[in-house]
């Protein structure tokens, strides 16, 4: 946490920690006990081929099944598999952020626990990384593993985002990727709560390249994301990378006012020419309802942003760790202070 003394440089010759691995893998887990054994089994040979030193950091996102026990066992069998466990469910985005905080590798791979992301791809990712790419993302070639409705909504969202967001997202790119240490530190320097990681990955830049892969069927269990959580997520993404929803109301308001003015002129003209027309309830009611609707809508949009500002200014820790399995690291779950302060 806050440092009261200057951190003394580690004296040469004293080994404070085991060797830093070259490759770290971050895997968020929410009720994935069934997938764990198969995952470890498939991952181990691939990682041994991909690098001569690796670690896997599982993040148990408040699972209520046997995930945590499984992770303890996995660590006992092979200490290269480590884990942290949250005090409750904080969501996948935050689980990934916590995983990144606890990795030490020069290259960090992020993947799902359900084997939808084929582990063999890690070898290709590493090859690209060794060529000098710092942000190597897996690109889904088809989304047939998702339901048609989800696919359609996803497509709509991407189109909306590329039209209105600060930058465009590469199509089909998700969390399955390899990040260089530099990119990881850049992500860790962004302690925002509403984490739309697809946007963050694109925002940090670095030398990026896509590697196509085919999404597999989920090994066990079912998707943890309902349409409700996905909608929330899409809204977070749009709101944290676009101010258009705020600004659009200026234009809408202007157009409506001009229309109102024109209508007024028209009414003055007709009244003077043809005399007053008594009835007019219908148009009155309609216009009152219309303006009330527009005002409530713009208030709602302001509320969405203000709610997000509120969530950020509270400065709560991003996550709380309940247990560490083979993972050292500061006890502070606070967002990291500016990492990588060395270098230009």
Residue ranges that bind ligand UDP, judged by CB under 6 A:
28-30, 32, 61, 89, 91-92, 95, 112-114, 116, 218, 223-225
Element (H, E) at 266: helix 244-274
Task: Pick the closer one to Mg ion by CB: 42 or 218.
Answer: 218
Spatial distance between the Cα atoms of 200 and 213, rounded to a whole number of angstroms: 21
HSE of 221 in the Cβ direction (CA atoms, 13 Å)? 18
| Binding of Mg ion by 116 (CB under 5 A) | yes
Spatial distance between the Cα atoms of 181 and 103, rounded to a whole number of angstroms: 9
Task: Pick the closer one to ligand UDP by CB: 113 or 126.
Answer: 113
Task: Pick the closer one to ligand UDP by CB: 30 or 129.
Answer: 30
> Which residues are within 8 A (CB) of 211 and not within 5 positions of it... i.e. 6 or more apart?
121, 124, 125, 128, 136, 137, 138, 139
Pick one of 61, 114, 180, 236: the residue that binds Mg ion (CB under 5 A).
114
Question: Shortest Cβ distance from residue 14 to Mg ion (Å)?
Answer: 44
Task: Pick the closer one to ligand UDP by CB: 55 or 112.
Answer: 112
Interacting stretch for Mg ion, rule CB under 5 A, among 10-18, 115-123, 147-155, 189-197? 115-123
Spatial distance between the Cα atoms of 66 and 200, rounded to a whole number of angstroms: 32
Spatial distance between the Cα atoms of 208 and 157, rounded to a whole number of angstroms: 22
Question: Shortest Cβ distance from residue 150 to Mg ion (Å)?
Answer: 12
Element (H, E) at 164: helix 148-164
Query: Are 179 and 333 contacting, i.e. CB atoms less than 8 angstroms apart?
Result: no
Question: Shortest Cβ distance from residue 215 to ligand UDP (Å)?
Answer: 8
Task: Pick the closer one to ligand UDP by CB: 20 or 316.
Answer: 316
Question: Shortest Cβ distance from residue 257 to ligand UDP (Å)?
Answer: 44
Residues contributing to the site for Mg ion (CB under 5 A): 114, 116, 218
């Amino acid at each position: 946490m806050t440092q009261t003394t200057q951190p003394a440089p580690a004296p040469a010759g004293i080994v404070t920690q085991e060797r830093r691995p070259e490759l770290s893998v971050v895997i968020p887990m929410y009720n994935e006990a069934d997938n764990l054994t198969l995952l470890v089994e498939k991952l181990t040979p691939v990682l041994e081929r991909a690098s001569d030193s690796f670690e896997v950091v599982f993040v148990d996102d408040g699972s209520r099944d046997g995930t945590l026990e499984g992770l303890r066992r996995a660590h006992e069998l092979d200490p290269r598999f480590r884990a942290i466990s949250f005090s409750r469910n904080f969501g996948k985005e935050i689980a990934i952020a916590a995983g990144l905080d606890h990795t030490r590798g020069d290259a960090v791979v992020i993947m799902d626990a359900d084997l939808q992301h084929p582990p063999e791809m890690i070898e290709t990712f590493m090859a690209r990384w060794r060529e000098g790419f710092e942000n190597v993302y897996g690109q889904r070639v088809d989304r047939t593993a998702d339901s048609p409705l989800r696919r359609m909504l996803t497509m709509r969202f991407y189109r909306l985002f590329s039209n209105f967001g600060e930058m465009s997202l590469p199509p089909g790119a998700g969390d399955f990727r390899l990040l260089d240490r530099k990119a990881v530190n850049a992500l860790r320097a962004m302690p925002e709560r509403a984490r739309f990681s697809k946007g963050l990955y694109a925002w940090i830049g670095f030398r990026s390249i896509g590697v196509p892969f085919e999404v597999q069927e989920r090994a066990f269990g079912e998707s943890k994301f309902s349409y409700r959580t996905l909608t929330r997520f899409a809204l977070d993404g749009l709101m944290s990378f676009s101010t258009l929803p705020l600004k659009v109301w200026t234009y809408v308001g202007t157009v409506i006012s001009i229309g109102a003015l024109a209508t007024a002129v028209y009414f003055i003209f007709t009244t003077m020419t043809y005399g007053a027309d008594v009835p007019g309830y219908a148009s009155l009611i309609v216009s009152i309802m219309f303006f009330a609707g527009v005002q409530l809508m713009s208030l709602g949009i302001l509320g969405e942003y203000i709610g997000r500002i509120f969530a950020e200014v509270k400065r709560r820790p991003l996550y709380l760790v309940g247990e560490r399995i083979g993972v050292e690291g500061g006890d502070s779950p606070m967002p990291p202070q500016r990492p990588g302060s060395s270098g230009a």
